A and B are shown apart, each in its own frame.
Chain A
Amino acid sequence: MAIPTLFFSGVLLYLVAWNVYLSFLNWSLVNRVPRFVGLGTYSYLLHQYFFKIGAMHSAIFSLGLIAIGNPLGIFLAGILYFLPNKFRTVMVSIFLYPLAISMATNGLIWTWLFNLHLGVDYVLRLMHLPAIPWLTTPTTTIGALFLVEVWAYTGLAVLFYLASFMGVDKSIIEAARIDKAGGFKILFKILIPNSMNGFIVSTALLFLFSFRLFSLPYVIGGGPTNLNLMTLVTYLYYLFYSEFFSASAATSVIVTMIATAVIIPYALYGIKRWIRRE
C-alpha cells in the first residue's frame, strides 16, 4: 500500500546520498576524470567569493523574512481576529493568493512594477515622494526582492497565527470582555501568549520557503548570474551550468543540511501534535 510513496521517498534519499558522494570528488569541466578529494571541494567552496555572497543573501532573505513575517503576521491576524467571519475569510484569501500563482509569474509582475518610468515610481513622483531606484542599485535590488518575498509569504504567517488565535478557548475571551478588557489587552495578554504553535510553524515554514527561493531571483534578476540576487540555491544552479559539478554537489549538500536541521524538528513536533494528538 505504501510502496509507491516509499519508492519515491527512497529515490529522494538516493539523490541526497549521491550528492554527498559527488561532493567528495573534484569533478568539473577541467577534471573530466574525477578523483576522490575528501573535503577538498568544500574548502575550495568556502574560499569562493560567490559562495560567500550567496550564503549572505540566503541568510538575509530567510532570516529577514522571519524577522518581518512574524510580527506582520501577528499584526494582521490580530486585526482579522476581531472582524466578522465572512470578511475574515475574504481577507485571508487576499493574503494567500500570491501563493496560488507561480513565483515566476509573481517575479514578472513585480519586475514591471519596479520599472523606473512606468512602475510604482510614477505614483511616488506624482505624490512628490522620492522615486526609488529599485533594480538599479545593489541595496535596493535586495530590498525589492525582499519586498516581493514579504508580499508572497506573509499570508502563511497570517494563516497560522489566525488559526492559533481561533484555537484559544472562547470562554476566556468572553470572561475578559466581561472584565471590560479591550481588543489590545485581549490580543497581547491572551491571544499572543497562547500562540506558541503559530510562532513555531510560521518560523519554520517561512524559513523553508524563503531558503529555497529560486524563481524570484531568477526572473527578477534576469537569470542566475545576477550577483545582487545570488543565493545558495541559484549559486548551485550556476555552478552546475558552468560545469563545476562537484562544487555544485557540495553546495547542494550544505543547503540540504541546513534545511534538514529545520525540517526534522518540525516533523517531530508535527507528528506529536497533529498525528498522535498528545
Chain B
Amino acid sequence: MNSRLIKYIILEIIAIIIAIFWLIPLYSMLINGFKTNFEATATPVLLPPKVFTISSYITVWGEMKRPLINSIIIAIPVAFISTIFGEMAAYFFYVVSERMPAVSNTGFSIISLATFIPYQATLLPLIELEASWGLFNSYQGLIFALLIFYMPTAALLMSIFIPVIPKYLIEAARIDKASDWTVFWKVVFPLTIPGFLATMIFVFIESWNNFFMPLVLTSSPSLRLIPVAERAFTGGYGTLYNDSYAAAVIASIVPLVVFIILGRYFIRGLAALGGGAKGV
C-alpha cells in the first residue's frame, strides 16, 4: 500500500472521530425524548432507550403546540419580507455605488451594524418604542422588532450576491432605457434566485431561533415563541430529561429539517458573510 493512501485513511479516521464528538448533543437530543420516566431517572443521557415510548412528546405537546404555531406565524413573514425588501435595497446600493461610493460605504456600514450589533443592547429603547406605538406584546411587535435586524441582514447578504451578476446584462437593460424597477424584476431578481433562497433560509432560521426578542417583547403566554416556551423544560425542579429533550426536538425540528434539506443554501448564506458570493 502506498503511503499517501494510508495518510488519507488516517485523515478520514480523525475527521470521523471529531465528527462523532460534534454529533453527541444531536444524538442525545434525538434519543432521550423516547425514554420512559423511569429510564430518564436511572439511565445516562448517552445510552439509547431500552423501551421506546412517545409519552414525553405527549406530555410536552400541549405546552409546545401554540408556541410552534406562533413561531411559524412570525418567522415566515419575517424571512419573506426581509429578503424581498433587502434585495431591493441591495440593488439600490449597487446602482448608487458607482456614482456615490461614500453613500454606499455608509449604507453598507449601517446594514452591517444592524446585522452584527448585540441586539440585546437595544433592549430599553426598543421596549419604550414598542410600548408607545402600541406594539408591545403583539405579533406585529415581534415582527417589527425582528425586521429591524433581519431586513438589514438580508440587504447585506443580497449586496454580496448581486455583484456576481455579469455587469453587461444590467448595462444592456439600462441602454434599452428600462427603468430601475424593470431591471430589478426582469434581470436582477431572476438571476439572483439562489442568493435569494440562501438569504431567505438564513433569515428564517435566525428569526426562528431568536430567543431574546420574544423573551423581552411579549408577556402573555399565548404569544410565546418556541425557544422561550422550551425553557420551561430546561430542568431543575421536577423536570425529567425525557421531557426536556422532547421539547428540544419539537423546538428544533423545523430548522433542522430545513437545514438537512436546504442546508446548502443556509451554508451559502453563512459563507457569504465571510468570503463573498464565490467559494462554497
Contacts and interface: CB of A to CB of B under 8 A. Distances in A.
Interface string B161-180: 00100000000000000001
A45 interface: no
Contacts of B231: 104, 108, 219
A240 interface: yes
A267 B89 CA distance: 16
A251 B24 CA distance: 37
Contacts of B93: 2
Given A105-B230, A109-B28, A266-B112, A211 B118 contact: yes
A270 B125 contact: no
B208 A102 contact: yes
Interface residues of B, number: 107
B195 interface: no
Contacts of A22: 124-125
A1 B14 contact: no
B86 interface: yes
A248 B245 contact: no
Contact of B104 (A101, A240, A271): A271
Interface residues of A, number: 104
A183 interface: yes
Contact of B28 (A92, A113, A162): A113
Interface string B83-110: 0011011011110010001001100111
B1 interface: no
B235 A5 contact: no
Contacts of A9: 110-111, 114, 151-152
Contact of A18 (B45, B125, B216, B259): B125
A6 interface: yes
B181 interface: yes
B148 A12 contact: yes
Contacts of B208: 102
A26 to B, nearest CB: 14
B61 interface: no
B11 A82 contact: yes
Contacts of B210: 102
- What is the predominant secondary structure among interface residues of chain A facing chain B? helix
A79 interface: yes
Given A102-B209, A108-B248, A160 B46 contact: no
Interface in A118-139: 118-120, 122-123
Contacts of B62: none
A227 interface: no
A166 B35 CA distance: 44
Nearest to B159: A275
B89 A233 contact: no
A212 B255 contact: no
A20 B165 CA distance: 41
Given A8-B148, A205-B273, A256 B28 contact: no
**Interface hub of B92, B94, B110 (most chain A Cβ within 10 A):** B110
B274 A159 contact: yes
Nearest to B113: A263
Contacts of A222: 234, 236
Contact of B160 (A89, A183, A274): A274
CB-CB nearest 4 A-B residue pairs? A274-B276, A5-B89, A212-B118, A102-B209
6 contacts: A76-B18, A83-B8, A102-B252, A113-B24, A159-B280, A183-B11
